[in-house]
Amino acid sequence: MKILLCSCCLFISFISFAQRIELPTARFITGDDIKYSYPATDDGNWKDIQANIVWDAQGYEKYDGYAWYRFHIVLPASLKTNSLWKDSLRIFLAKIDDVCEVYLNGTKIGKSGSFPEDKEGYITTWNKKQEYHVAISKQYLNWGADNLLAVRVYDGGGAGGIFSGTPYVSMLDLIDGIEINNHSPVEFLSKNKAKKNILLANNFNQRISGTLHYAVIDVENDKAEKHSIPVNISPNGKFTFTIPVTLAERNNLYYEFEEGQTRKKIQLTETIPYLLTPAPSPSPKINGANVFGIRPNAPFLFKIPATGKKPLQYSVENLPAGLKVDAATGIITGSIKTKGDHKMTLIVKNSLGTDKKEFTVKCGDLLALTPPMGWNSWNCWGLSVSDERLKISAQAMIDKGLIDHGWTYMNIDDGWEAETRNEKGEIVSNKKFPDLKKMGDWLHNKGLKFGIYSSPGSKTCGGYLGSYQHELQDAQSYAGWGIDYLKYDWCSYETVYRNEKDTSLAAFIKPYSIMQLALQSQNRDIVYSLCQYGMKDVWKWGATVNGNCWRTTGDIEDSWESLRNIGFNQTSQYAYAGPGRWNDPDMMIVGQVGWGDNLHPTRLTPDEQYTHVSLWCLLSAPLLIGCDLGKLDDFTLNLLTNDEVIAVDQDPLGKQAKQVIKTDTYQVWMKELEDGSKAIGIFNLSDKNDVIRFYWSQLGLTDTHKARDLWRQKDLGIFRSMFATKVPSHGVTLIRIDK
């Protein structure tokens, strides 16, 4: 993309409102030289760059390595004199992908992350807010004259540079010293009562006083109870407060701290987690998909997912020859020799009754006839996944009953590989995974499946060993360990691809087809998940290498921006989804996530999480939970166990939803289902709760429809000509309508 910047913006930094100097553009050069931090260095020949979007979007596509930004800033003396506190200057640099060092008039004022040549080696802080404070007494500040702010950046891969906001300079106010920490979970005391602890931290060396205003808002009924209390926090002190809450279906908590001298405020609103999925009935109920794909003679493993008061008793009518069912666990094992559709009836009984379900095993070439459902280690543990951590989540999958709703795969992502191959050239696991074969057996005995990760390059994205030139050997090892799912991640194959200097599509596809053949030659059904972030429209050719799913985007993270940008942009690929061929908008970001040792609750609000699960189900996306299941809370469990919502994802027709209405504030997505009914998601993308209305005719539908609310599992009645629904900000109404 070419972006035209006027060179006259070069030395202009403007004051957009009273006390903020915005820095929308900078001078820019790739490479590295400490002289670039000196004010005297001439940057006349450098290029202009926008300082709020990554450099890859501005003519430096795929540039990794060092680069410098220089901002020329006039600091008016009024900035200082107009400030009440007159203490320090704030330099806000949004986020910087990946590592940075910041210099003001030649003096280093801060650093974030670690450069490759540093003692600690390369550590990215791409997602960290970059803000630096400089006392106004510093001699090197030039009031009323030019100042040079130089930023040294190192990009270790992917996009690079300053992004996610426009940098600016302003004076600090006392309010900037206050941080509201609302991270402690809401405690539910009884059906109608809860409490929430919040903490105000004063990060400055100065007493701060003001007022804490808070309100509990009953969103549905638009009622609010408002309260105010005086607050006085000693230097670097803390103030904790408990807000009592009387619960309605949806409650918002609003809090605001108003600093006493300036009357400046900081505010936060949060939605108290609210459960929509009704509790499962004690009577037996068979859940999950009604089709299952296998290849002839490959080991068969399928656990009948069913809820109801335990113990349950499982049986199958018309079980094909070669298979047997364990009556106590519902695990079906064996193998089938003959290709074709094998129809059977699954039966589950308990003391309260019996449930039956027609089920078809399609024995042929295609696996993953419905999108794979399970768990992957990446969004929680990142590279610090271990055997023990995997086992805790696997056990929780069973103990918390997720397996009874169809959640099956337990996939290790990057970080399991040893540093070198063994003397036979075979890949082996590192210390964190003492025995993969044993782990596979343990999972299979419980009715779970086992997934693993590799790269067609010599190194994975996390720097571990990849499969390059060992593909067949690796596929054999996987089969030996009982692997059921492979995520195959492009990563360092980029180097091979570039070195081969063949830019044809065939050269690009080649590594995926090599692994396809290696997998196909194993007597084991291994779901093949391509991960190359959607390059070269993978959805158009993923099926030719027998890929069962393919990532369509870069990595997701637990923020509304990331969810919205990924989820609501899955528009062009819908025609390519179908049984055994799924577009994958990346793994789920619910529960405790963290990409490393330190986990935190997802930063998505409850409504954003309802949106996430609804949209992924409409998109027929693989559903891979990316959190520590050992710490699964009631809200996340409830979110992941709604069988009517999951059924939208697991519908055997395998269509992907189409975006049928798109406005600035809301979108409607519609998915065709096998029985002729339709699942419709009505999403409110705005920052306000709203009533969303549309005519059936806008979706190309006939005039009258019966609608059912899938989250609440409740019939809503008959709607003539139009449908209207209240949708919370960033939330969803998910319905199923009859033909």
Active-site positions read: 489, 555
Using the contact rule CB under 6 A, the part of the chain among 147-155, 398-406, 455-463, 568-576 near ligand GAL is 455-463
Residue 462 CB, nearest approach to ligand GAL (Å): 4
Selected range binding ligand GAL among 55-63, 457-465, 500-508, 685-693, rule: CB under 6 A: 457-465
Which stretch in 396-404, 458-466, 676-684, 695-703 sits in contact with ligand GAL by CB under 6 A? 458-466
Phi and psi of 373, rounded to 5°? -125, 130
The residue with tokens 């390595």 is 65
CB of 383 to ligand GAL, least distance (A): 7
Distance in Å, CB of 516 to ligand GAL, minimum: 19
* Residue 465 binds ligand GAL (CB under 6 A): no
Of residues 198 and 589, the one with the C-beta less far from ligand GAL: 589
Binding mask 522-561 for ligand GAL (x = CB under 6 A): ---------x-----------------------x------
**Dihedral sign computed on CA atoms, order 467, 469, 473, 475:** positive
HEC-encoded secondary structure of 659-682: EEEECCCEEEEEEECCCCCEEEEE
CB of 209 to ligand GAL, least distance (A): 47
Q: Which of residues 319-378 bind ligand GAL (CB under 6 A)?
A: 378
Q: Out of 101, 413, 417, 558, name the contact with ligand GAL by CB under 6 A.
A: 413
Among 462, 480, 578, 652, binds ligand GAL (CB under 6 A): 462
Q: Which of 89, 219, 397, 461 binds ligand GAL (CB under 6 A)?
A: 461
544-577 burial: b if 16+ Cβ within 10 Å, else e:
ebbbbbbbbbebbbbbbebbbebbbebeebbebb
Report, in this order, helix, strand and coil percent for the chain, each rounded to 5: 20, 40, 45
Minimum CB distance to ligand GAL, residue 378 (Å) = 5
Residues 6+ apart with CB under 8 A from 443: 394, 410, 449, 450, 482
Segment contacting ligand GAL by CB under 6 A, of 186-194, 244-252, 386-394, 454-462: 454-462
Cβ 142 vs Cβ 48: under 8 Å: no
From CA 269, how far away is CA 700, in angstroms rounded? 38
Q: Which residue, 239 or 453, has its beta carbon nearer to ligand GAL?
A: 453
Nearer to ligand GAL, 101 or 489 (CB): 489
Q: Which residue has the tokens 């009874």?
A: 404
Q: Whose Cβ is closer to ligand GAL: residue 531's or residue 668's?
A: 531
Residue 114, both tokens? 């670690």
Which two tokens mark 299?
Answer: 């080991």
Residues paired with 693 in a beta bridge = 724
CA–CA separation, 218 vs 381, rounded Å? 36
- Name the residue nearer to ligand GAL (CB basis): 588 or 732: 588
Nearer to ligand GAL, 494 or 690 (CB): 494
Distance between CA 117 and CA 154 in Å, rounded? 11
Q: Which lies closer to ligand GAL via its Cβ, residue 296 or residue 462?
A: 462
**Shortest CB 532 distance to ligand GAL, Å:** 9
Please choose, out of 126-134, 444-452, 456-464, 638-646, the segment that lies near ligand GAL by the rule CB under 6 A. 456-464
Number of residues that this document lists for the chain? 739
Number of residues that bind ligand GAL (CB under 6 A): 10
Q: Interface residues for ligand GAL in 476-515 (CB under 6 A)?
A: 489, 491
The pair of structure tokens assigned to 377 is 């280690």
Residue 385: C-alpha distances to residues 377, 395, 534, 727 (Å): 6, 15, 26, 38
Q: Which residues bind ligand GAL (CB under 6 A)?
A: 378, 413-414, 460-462, 489, 491, 531, 555
